[in-house]
C-alpha cells in the first residue's frame, strides 16, 4: 500500500546497511550507539572545558600574574561555563537517557530513532559552532550574557553571535531529544510497567525532559530578541531607546534555574538506582522520591529571581524569592534523607559505582548548604558575584552531577561494553577526585567571603586571597591526574577487561536481565512486568534464573540506519556558520547552501524507503 | 574536677581555638563589619552557617557510619526489605520545612533593615547624607549635594569621604553597562543598573545605605562583570568624624590652589592642547543631573590616595591617606605612558588621539610637564 502516489516517482537512495565502520556510526539510529556517541563527545568537550578552567586557575594561582590577557580570560570563563553546562553535563545526561531508557523500560529503541540520531548530530553541530568561535575571538560576556555587554556597541565582534547561534542549535537538539524521550517513556513501556513501576532514573529523565521542553523556549525567545537587537537594531535590551536590561536577566534565569535541575535531576536518578543495588535493599520511599523530584522541578520555576537579589527588584520581591528558594531545600532534603534510609541497615558493597554515589551525597550536601546561605537574600548581598558562588555551583554541579555521572559510567560500563570496569583504577579515580575537587573548590568559599569578586582576571596582593587561590590551583592538578586515570581505565577495560556477566551487581532493573553487552535488539522477547524492580523480584521468586546468551542470528525487526539525520544536521551547521557573519555576501551564500542541504535532508528523510521487503510503512 | 569546671575549660578552649582561626581583618573581608548593615548581614550568615553545620555533621555522620557499619560480609544475609516509612518521611519533611521558614522570616528582618535608611518617628527617612555613585567602564564617579548651592553637585572620582555614625544613602547609576557597588565591610552589594528615564526625565535608580561605625579606609570593588577590566574597578570609602567631613567637603567645592611653578604652568597648557580637558573636567562642581565628561574629574586628583580606580597607590601603605608625592608622580608617569597595560580596554587609550595617533603622542618633556601640573592639583 502506498500512502502517497507521488512517492513512486521520486528517486530515493536506499538505506545504508553496513554494520561496522565509520559509515555505520554516521548513519546509526541504534539508541545504544547514539548513547555512546553522546557520552564520548560530551567527555571530550568536558576535557576542553577543563583545559579552559585550568588556564584560568593558573592565571589566578597567585596575585598579578600575566599568563593570559584580560580579554582572553573573559573568553575563557565564558566558554568554560557554556561548555560545561551545554556541551558536557547536559549531553552526558543525554548519553544515559539514550542508553538506559529503552533498556530500563523494556523497549527495543526510542520512539523516534531517526530523530534521536538527528538530536545527536545537531548537538554536535552546536558544539562545533561554539568551539569554532575561538578562531577570531570567543564570546566574552559570561555564560549568562547579561545585556548590555552583549550589545553591538559593547561587543562588536562575532563571538557573541557564535554563542547565540550555537545555543539556538543546541536548543533544537535538546528539544528534539526531550520530546523523543517523553514519547518513549509514555508509549514504549513494556506491558505491565505502569508509571509507578518505572525505575527512578526513568522518572527523573522524564521530569528532566519535561523541564527541557518548557525551559528552552524561554532562552530561545531571549536569544531571538538579542539577535534582532544585534542584527537589525531592535531595542529589546537598549535602555537608551526604552528597552530593559533587566528583561534579559528575567528571561535568562527563568530558563537558567530550571536548567540547574536539568543538570542535577538525572544525577539524582542515577544515584537512586545505584544505592539500592549496592545495599541490597529497595529504595526507601520510592513514591516520595519520585514526588520530591516532581516538586523540585515544579518549584524550580518559582525561584529564578534569587539570581537577581542585588539587581534592585525591591525588598518585597527579594523576600518572596527568599522564601520560595528556601522551601526548595525541603524536597531536596527529603531525597537525601531517603537515600540515607536506603543504605541504613543495608548490606553495603563499596564497589566503584557505590563509592561515587555516596560521594555524590557527601559533596552535593555541601553545595546544598551553601545554596541555602545565598537563598537568603540578606546574606546573599555579601555573597552574590563573589567566589562563594563558584564554590557553591561546583559542589552542586561537579561534586553533584559529575560524581553521579561517574557513578553511572562505572555502573553501566559492563552493559555498554560487555567488559568489567577496572576496580583498582576506578577507586584511585574516586579518591583523587574527592581530594582534588575539595582542594579546588572548598577554598573558593573562603576567598569569596573575604571579598574576592568572581570573573576577575587578576587580583592585588595582600587581600587574603593568595594562599587559597594557590591551593585551589594545586587541586586542579590532582583532578587532572584523576581524569587521566579514568581515561586509562576506560581504554584498558574496554580493550582487555574481563568479560562481564549479564548481571554483575545482582541488580534490580530490566537492563540486567539481558546479556552484556546489550544486544542490538535489547530484548529477544519483550518482558512482562509485574512489579517495581521487576528483575530483582523475578530473581527472588526464581533464584536459578539465567540470562540467555545473545542470539547469533535473529530476525527481530529493528529500525534501519539512515543517512538523513546526519545530512540534515550538517546543513544546519553550514547554515549557522553563514548566519554568524550576517552582513557579507559569501556568508549569505554559505547560509543558503546550508539551508538547501538541510532541506534535502528533511525531504529525503520523509520519503526514505525501507530496505526490509516485508515492511510497507516507513518509520 | 567537677563537670562545671570541665565544661568551662572546654568552652574556653573552643572559644580560643575559634578566635585563633577567625579570619584575619583583610581589606575586603565580610568577617569584620564596621557598620550596622554589614553586621546584621554577617549575623544572618552565622545563623545559617550554624544550622548548616548541624545538618552537615548529621548527614555526613550517618553516611560514613552506614558505609562502615553495614558493610557486606561473605555470610551477610539479605537485609530486611524496607520499602519506606511514611511517619519518618513526614518528620523529615516537616522539620526542615519549619526550620527554613524560621530562617527566612529572621532574614527578612535584616533584608528590610538593609533596604533603606532607618525611618524617624514621623515615618520619614531619618538623618542621613545623600550621595550619587555612577559606574563607568571602569571607574566610579561620585557626586555630593553642594553644601551652599541646591542646584549644584560636587563631583569626585573613585574615592569618597563619609562621616562616621551618620547613615549614608547612595543612589546608584551607570552610564554604560551593569556594575555593582560593594564595600564588604560596610554593606552587601547593590547593582548599578542602566534604567530608562520616565516621562519627567527621572530615572528609578537603585539605592543603598550604610553607616560606618569607626573612622577608617574601607575598600570597595565592582562586583558585577562589566567587561575587559572588570577586575580593575575599585574604589575607597574614607570615613572621618563629622566635623572633619564638613571641613573636607568645603575644600572640595573649590578648585585646587594654583602653584607658581613654571613647569606646572607648561603642564597646564599641555593638559588643554593635548586634549585631556576634553574628557577630564577640572571644575569641582556641576549642575545637578548634568551629564559628566567621559573621564574622571581631576580637580583634586593629587589628593587622592590612588590612581586609575584603585590600581596605583599614592600612599606608602594602604592604611594612610597621606599622599607620597614621589609615588604619585611615578604612578602618573606609569599611567600616562601606558594606560592600556594598567587597565586593558580603557577608553582613554582606545580613543584619545595622543594614544591612537603616533604623530600626536606626548613627548617626554610634555609628560613631565603634565605630571608636574597634575601633582599640584591637591
Q: What is the pLDDT of residues A138-161, one digit of tens each?
A: 899 999 999 999 999 999 989 999
Query: How many Å lie between the alpha carbon of A281 and the closest alpha carbon of chain B?
Result: 6
Give the model's pLDDT for residue A11: 56
pLDDT surpassing 70 at residue A67: yes
Interchain CB distance below 8 Å, A70 and B92 = no
> Mean pLDDT of all residues in chain A?
92
Q: Check residues A3 and A541 and name the one with the higher pLDDT.
A: A541
Chain B: residue whose CA lies nearest to A77: B225
Interchain CB distance below 8 Å, A385 and B223 = yes
Instruction: Choose among A319, A341, A379: nearest Cβ to B48.
Output: A379
Interchain CB distance below 8 Å, B188 and A69 = no
Q: Which chain B positions have a beta carbon within 8 Å of A149's beta carbon?
A: 177-178, 225-227
Q: Which chain A positions have a beta carbon within 8 Å of B72's beta carbon?
A: 280, 347-349
**pLDDT-derived band of residue A8, with 50, 70 and 90 as boundaries?**
very low
B contact test, residue of A308, A403, A451, A468 with most B CBs within 10 A = A451
Instruction: Choose among B41, B77, B223: nearest Cβ to A453.
Output: B223
Residue B87, all three cell numbers: 511517619
- φ, ψ for residue A606, nearest 5 deg: -70, -20
Q: Which chain B positions have a beta carbon within 8 Å of A310's beta carbon?
A: 180, 188-191, 223-224
Query: How many Å lie between the alpha carbon of A348 and the closest alpha carbon of chain B?
Result: 5
Instruction: Choose among B115, B178, B231: nearest Cβ to A459.
Output: B231
Interchain CB distance below 8 Å, B111 and A385 = no
Query: How many Å lie between the alpha carbon of A361 and the closest alpha carbon of chain B?
Result: 8
**pLDDT-derived band of residue A3, with 50, 70 and 90 as boundaries?**
low
Model confidence pLDDT, tens digit, residues A241-269: 889 999 999 999 999 999 999 999 999 99
Q: Which chain B positions have a beta carbon within 8 Å of A390's beta carbon?
A: none
Measured distance CA(A593)–CA(A601) in Å, rounded: 12
Share above pLDDT 70 across residues of chain B, in percent, rounded to a whole number: 100
Interchain CB distance below 8 Å, B92 and A333 = yes
Classify residue B161 as exposed, middle or buried by CB count within 10 Å of its CB (0-12, 13-18, 19+): buried
What residue ranges of chain B have pLDDT lower than 70?
A: 1
Count of Cβ atoms closer than 10 Å to residue A249 Cβ = 25
Q: Which chain B positions have a beta carbon within 8 Å of A463's beta carbon?
A: 26-28
Range 242-271 of A in CB contact (< 8 A) with B: 242-246
CA neighbor of A565 nearest in space, from A605, A597, A595: A605
Instruction: Choose among B56, B60, B114: nearest Cβ to A381.
Output: B114
Q: Check residues A199 and A619 and name the one with the higher pLDDT.
A: A199
Interchain CB distance below 8 Å, A362 and B62 = no
Kindly give the interhelix angle for A329-343 and B86-115, rounded to the nearest 10 degrees. 150
Query: How many Å lie between the alpha carbon of A310 and the closest alpha carbon of chain B?
Result: 5
CA neighbor of A421 nearest in space, from A476, A331, A355, A363: A355
pLDDT surpassing 50 at residue A1: no
Give the model's pLDDT for residue A12: 64
Residue B50, all three cell numbers: 550554624
Interchain CB distance below 8 Å, B52 and A457 = no
Mean pLDDT of A87-106: 96
Give the distance from CA A266 to its chain's centroid. Answer: 8
Interchain CB distance below 8 Å, A379 and B180 = no
pLDDT surpassing 70 at residue A504: yes
pLDDT surpassing 50 at residue A619: no
Query: How many Å lie between the alpha carbon of B11 and the closest alpha carbon of chain A?
Result: 25
pLDDT surpassing 70 at residue A617: no
Query: How many Å lie between the alpha carbon of A172 and the closest alpha carbon of chain B?
Result: 29
Instruction: Give yes or no for A431 touching B (CB within 8 A).
Output: no
The ipTM is: 0.92
pLDDT surpassing 60 at residue A618: no
Residues 6+ apart with CB under 8 A from A574: A590, A591, A593, A594, A597
Interchain CB distance below 8 Å, A285 and B89 = yes
Instruction: Give yes or no for A337 touching B (CB within 8 A).
Output: yes
Q: Which chain B positions have a beta carbon within 8 Å of A239's beta carbon?
A: 194-196
Give the model's pLDDT for residue A588: 86
Give the model's pLDDT for residue A398: 96
Chain B: residue whose CA lies nearest to A380: B188
B contact test, residue of A381, A446, A532, A537 with most B CBs within 10 A = A381
Interchain CB distance below 8 Å, A449 and B227 = no
Q: Which chain B positions have a beta carbon within 8 Å of A285's beta carbon?
A: 83-86, 89
Instruction: Give yes or no for A150 touching B (CB within 8 A).
Output: no
Give the model's pLDDT for residue A437: 96
Interchain CB distance below 8 Å, A372 and B52 = yes
Q: Which chain A positions have a beta carbon within 8 Å of B88's beta carbon?
A: 341
Decide if B333 contacts B182 (C-beta within 8 A): no
Scored b (16 or more CB within 10 A) or e, B69-95 reads ebeeeeeeeebeeeebeeeebeebbee
Measured distance CA(B173)–CA(B153) in Å, rounded: 15
Interchain CB distance below 8 Å, A284 and B228 = no
Model confidence pLDDT, tens digit, residues B315-374: 988 888 889 889 999 999 999 999 999 999 999 999 999 999 998 899 999 999 999 999
Instruction: Choose among B107, B222, B345: nearest Cβ to A378.
Output: B107
Query: How many Å lie between the alpha carbon of B44 and the closest alpha carbon of chain A?
Result: 6
Range 60-79 of A in CB contact (< 8 A) with B: 69-71, 74
Query: β-strands B206-210, B168-174: how paired?
Result: antiparallel
Range 491-550 of A in CB contact (< 8 A) with B: none
Helices and strands (H, E) in chain A, number of each type: 20, 0
Measured distance CA(A81)–CA(A50) in Å, rounded: 10
Q: Which chain A positions have a beta carbon within 8 Å of B176's beta carbon?
A: 148, 154
Interchain CB distance below 8 Å, B70 and A345 = yes
Give the model's pLDDT for residue B35: 95
Residues 6+ apart with CB under 8 A from A96: A35, A39, A201, A205, A266, A270, A405, A408, A412
Out of A290-304, A355-369, B110-124, which region has the weakest mean confidence (pLDDT)?
B110-124
**Could you give the maximum distance between any two Cα atoms of chain B, in Å?**
98
Tell me if residue A348 falls in helix, strand or coil.
Answer: strand
Q: Check residues B224 and A614 and name the one with the higher pLDDT.
A: B224
A contact test, residue of B191, B198, B205 with most A CBs within 10 A = B191
Instruction: Choose among B62, B196, B221: nearest Cβ to A453.
Output: B221
Interchain CB distance below 8 Å, B195 and A239 = yes
- φ, ψ for residue B239, nearest 5 deg: -95, 130
Query: How many Å lie between the alpha carbon of A374 and the closest alpha carbon of chain B?
Result: 9
Interchain CB distance below 8 Å, B89 and A334 = yes
Chain A: residue whose CA lies nearest to B108: A319
B contact test, residue of A371, A382, A462 with most B CBs within 10 A = A382
Instruction: Choose among B51, B66, B182: nearest Cβ to A348.
Output: B66
The DSSP code for A527 is: P
Give the model's pLDDT for residue B196: 87
Query: How many Å lie between the alpha carbon of A379 and the closest alpha carbon of chain B?
Result: 5
Q: Check residues A440 and A582 and name the one with the higher pLDDT.
A: A440
Amino acid at each position: 500500500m502506498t500512502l502517497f502516489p507521488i512517492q513512486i516517482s521520486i528517486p530515493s537512495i536506499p538505506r545504508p546497511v553496513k554494520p561496522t565502520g565509520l559509515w555505520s556510526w554516521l548513519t546509526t539510529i541504534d539508541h545504544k550507539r547514539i548513547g555512546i556517541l553522546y557520552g564520548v563527545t560530551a567527555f571530550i568537550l568536558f576535557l576542553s572545558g577543563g583545559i579552559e578552567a585550568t588556564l584560568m586557575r593558573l592565571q589566578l594561582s597567585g596575585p598579578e600574574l600575566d599568563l593570559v590577557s584580560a580579554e582572553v580570560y573573559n573568553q575563557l570563563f565564558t566558554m568554560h561555563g557554556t561548555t560545561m553546562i551545554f556541551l558536557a553535563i547536559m549531553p552526558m545526561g543525554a548519553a544515559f537517557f539514550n542508553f538506559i531508557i529503552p533498556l530500563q523500560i523494556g523497549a527495543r529503541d526510542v520512539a523516534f530513532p531517526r530523530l534521536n540520531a538527528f538530536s545527536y548530530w545537531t548537538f554536535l553541530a552546536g558544539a562545533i559552532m561554539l568551539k569554532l568561535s575561538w578562531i577570531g575571538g570567543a564570546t566574552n560576556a559570561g555564560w549568562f550574557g547579561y545585556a548590555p555587554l552583549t550589545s553591538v556597541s559593547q561587543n562588536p565582534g562575532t563571538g557573541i553571535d557564535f554563542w547565540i547561534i550555537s545555543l539556538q542549535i543546541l536548543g533544537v537538539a535538546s528539544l528534539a531529544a526531550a520530546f523523543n524521550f517523553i514519547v518513549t517513556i509514555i508509549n514504549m513501556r513494556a506491558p505491565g510497567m505502569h508509571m509507578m513501576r518505572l525505575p527512578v532514573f526513568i522518572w527523573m529523565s522524564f521530569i528532566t525532559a519535561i523541564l527541557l521542553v518548557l525551559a528552552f523556549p524561554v532562552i530561545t525567545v531571549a536569544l531571538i530578541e538579542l539577535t534582532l537587537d544585534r542584527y537589525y537594531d531592535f531595542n529589546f535590551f537598549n535602555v537608551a531607546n526604552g528597552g530593559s536590561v533587566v528583561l534579559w536577566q528575567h528571561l535568562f534565569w527563568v530558563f537558567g534555574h530550571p536548567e540547574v535541575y536539568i543538570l542535577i535531576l538525572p544525577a539524582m536518578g542515577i544515584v537512586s538506582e545505584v544505592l539500592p543495588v549496592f545495599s541490597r535493599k529497595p529504595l526507601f520511599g520510592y513514591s516520595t522520591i519520585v514526588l520530591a523530584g516532581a516538586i523540585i522541578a515544579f518549584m524550580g520555576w518559582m525561584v529564578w529571581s534569587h539570581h537577581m537579589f542585588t539587581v534592585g527588584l525591591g525588598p518585597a520581591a527579594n523576600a518572596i524569592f527568599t522564601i520560595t528558594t528556601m522551601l526548595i531545600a525541603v524536597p531536596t532534603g527529603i531525597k537525601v534523607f531517603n537515600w540515607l534510609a536506603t543504605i541504613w541497615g543495608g548490606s553495603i558493597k563499596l564497589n566503584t559505582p557505590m563509592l561515587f554515589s555516596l560521594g555524590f551525597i557527601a559533596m552535593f550536601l555541601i553545595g546544598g548548604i551553601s545554596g541555602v546561605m545565598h537563598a537568603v537574600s540578606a546574606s546573599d548581598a555579601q555573597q552574590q558575584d563573589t567566589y562563594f558562588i563558584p564554590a557553591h555551583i561546583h559542589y552542586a554541579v561537579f561534586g553533584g552531577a559529575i560524581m553521579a555521572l561517574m557513578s553511572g559510567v562505572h555502573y553501566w560500563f559492563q552493559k555498554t561494553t560487555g567488559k568489567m570496569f577496572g576496580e583498582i583504577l576506578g577507586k584511585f579515580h574516586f579518591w583523587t577526585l574527592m581530594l582534588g575537587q575539595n582542594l579546588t573548590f572548598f577554598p573558593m568559599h573562603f576567598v569569596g567571603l573575604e571579598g574576592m569578586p568572581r570573573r576577575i582576571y587578576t587580583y592585588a596582593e595582600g587581600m587574603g586571597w593568595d594562599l587559597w587561590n594557590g591551593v585551589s590551583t594545586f587541586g586542579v592538578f590532582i583532578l587532572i591526574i584523576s581524569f587521566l586515570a579514568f581515561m586509562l581505565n576506560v581504554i584498558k577495560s574496554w580493550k582487555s577487561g574481563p568479560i562481564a556477566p549479564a548481571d554483575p551487581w545482582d541488580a534490580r532493573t530490566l537492563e540486567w536481565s539481558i546479556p552484556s553487552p546489550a544486544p542490538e535488539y535489547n530484548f529477544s522477547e519483550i518482558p512482562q512486568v509485574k512489579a517495581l524492580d521487576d528483575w530483582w523480584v523475578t530473581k527472588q521468586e526464581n533464584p536459578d534464573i539465567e540470562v540467555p546468551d545473545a542470539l547469533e542470528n535473529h530476525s527481530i525487526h529493528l529500525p534501519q540506519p539512515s543517512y538523513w539525520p546526519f545530512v540534515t544536521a550538517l546543513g544546519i551547521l553550514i547554515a549557522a556558520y553563514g548566519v554568524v557573519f550576517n552582513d557579507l555576501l559569501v556568508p549569505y551564500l554559505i547560509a543558503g547552501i546550508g539551508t538547501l542541504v538541510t532541506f534535502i535532508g528533511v525531504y529525503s528523510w520523509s520519503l526514505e524507503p525501507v530496505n526490509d521487503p516485508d515492511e510497507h510503512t516507513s518509520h | 574536677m567537677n563537670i562545671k569546671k570541665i565544661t568551662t575549660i572546654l568552652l574556653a578552649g573552643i572559644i580560643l581555638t575559634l578566635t585563633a582561626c577567625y579570619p584575619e581583618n583583610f581589606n575586603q573581608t565580610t568577617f569584620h563589619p564596621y557598620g550596622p548593615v554589614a553586621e546584621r548581614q554577617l549575623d544572618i550568615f552565622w545563623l545559617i552557617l550554624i544550622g548548616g553545620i548541624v545538618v552537615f555533621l548529621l548527614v555526613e555522620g550517618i553516611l560514613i557510619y552506614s558505609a562502615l557499619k553495614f558493610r557486606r560480609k561473605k555470610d551477610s544475609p539479605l537485609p530486611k526489605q524496607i520499602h519506606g516509612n511514611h511517619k519518618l518521611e513526614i518528620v523529615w519533611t516537616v522539620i526542615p520545612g519549619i526550620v527554613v521558614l524560621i530562617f527566612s522570616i529572621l532574614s527578612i528582618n535584616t533584608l528590610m533593615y538593609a533596604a533603606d535608611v532607618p525611618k524617624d518617628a514621623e515615618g520619614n527617612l531619618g538623618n542621613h547624607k545623600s550621595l550619587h555613585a555612577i559606574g563607568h567602564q571602569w571607574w566610579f564617579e561620585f557626586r555630593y549635594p553642594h553644601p551652599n548651592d541646591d542646584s549644584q553637585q560636587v563631583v569626585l572620582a573613585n574615592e569618597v569621604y563619609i562621616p562616621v555614625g551618620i547613615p549614608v544613602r547612595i543612589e546608584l547609576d551607570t552610564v554604560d553597562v551593569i556594575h555593582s557597588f560593594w564595600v564588604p565591610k560596610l554593606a552587601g552589594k547593590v547593582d548599578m543598573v542602566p534604567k530608562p528615564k520616565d516621562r519627567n526625565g527621572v530615572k528609578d535608580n537603585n539605592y543603598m545605605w550604610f553607616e560606618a561605625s569607626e573612622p577608617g579606609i574601607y575598600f570597595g570593588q565592582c562586583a558585577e562583570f562589566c567587561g575587559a577590566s572588570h577586575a580593575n574597578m575599585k574604589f575607597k570609602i574614607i570615613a572621618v568624624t563629622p566635623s572633619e567631613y564638613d571641613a573636607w567637603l568645603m575644600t572640595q567645592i573649590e578648585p585646587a590652589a594654583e602653584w607658581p611653578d613654571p613647569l606646572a604652568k607648561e603642564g597646564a597648557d599641555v593638559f588643554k592642547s593635548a586634549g585631556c580637558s576634553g574628557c577630564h573636567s577640572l571644575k569641582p562642581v556641576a549642575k545637578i543631573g548634568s551629564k559628566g565628561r567621559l573621564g574622571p574629574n581631576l580637580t583634586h586628583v593629587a589628593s587622592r590616595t590612588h590612581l586609575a580606580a584603585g590600581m596605583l597607590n599614592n600612599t606608602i601603605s594602604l592604611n594612610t591617606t597621606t599622599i607620597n608625592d614621589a609615588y604619585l608622580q611615578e604612578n602618573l608617569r606609569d599611567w600616562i605612558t601606558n594606560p592600556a597595560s594598567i587597565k586593558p580596554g580603557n577608553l582613554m587609550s582606545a580613543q584619545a588621539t595622543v594614544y591612537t595617533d603616533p604623530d600626536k603622542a606626548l613627548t617626554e618633556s610634555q609628560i613631565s610637564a603634565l605630571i608636574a601640573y597634575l601633582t599640584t592639583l591637591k
